[in-house]
């Protein structure tokens, strides 16, 4: 399986995603913008990398942190 950020994965010196990560099939929720907005499917890494001047925090970020920023944020709904 090829990942959305496969080209960026090759640029970092850590395995991304880590080998111990496992596929999980669950019902999950994500805060979104307007319906149909492409930002709904972008990670923070992608949003920041498209800016004219990416945040300085990316200069000092470790490769593992960059890998983590390529993931989408998801939230589980715990039963009440």
pLDDT digits (tens, 9 = 90+) for 18-49: 888 887 787 777 777 888 887 777 777 777 77
50: containing domain: 6-69
Task: Tell whether 51 is covered by a domain.
Answer: yes
pTM metric for this prediction? 0.57
Residues in the chain: 80
Helix (H/G/I), strand (E/B), else coil: 29: strand
User: Does residue 79 sit within a domain?
Assistant: no
Q: Which pLDDT tens digit goes with each residue over 39-80?
A: 777 777 777 777 788 777 777 888 888 888 777 666 566 665
| Amino acid 37: pLDDT | 86
Count the domains in the chain: 1
């Amino acid at each position: 399986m090829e990942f959305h950020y496969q080209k960026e994965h090759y640029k970092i010196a850590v395995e991304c995603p880590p080998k111990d990560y496992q596929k999980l099939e669950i019902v999950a929720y994500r805060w979104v913008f307007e319906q149909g907005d492409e930002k709904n499917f972008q990670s923070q890494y992608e949003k920041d990398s498209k800016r004219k001047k990416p945040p300085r925090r990316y200069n000092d970020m470790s490769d593992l942190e960059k890998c983590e920023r390529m993931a989408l944020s998801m939230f589980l709904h715990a039963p009440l």
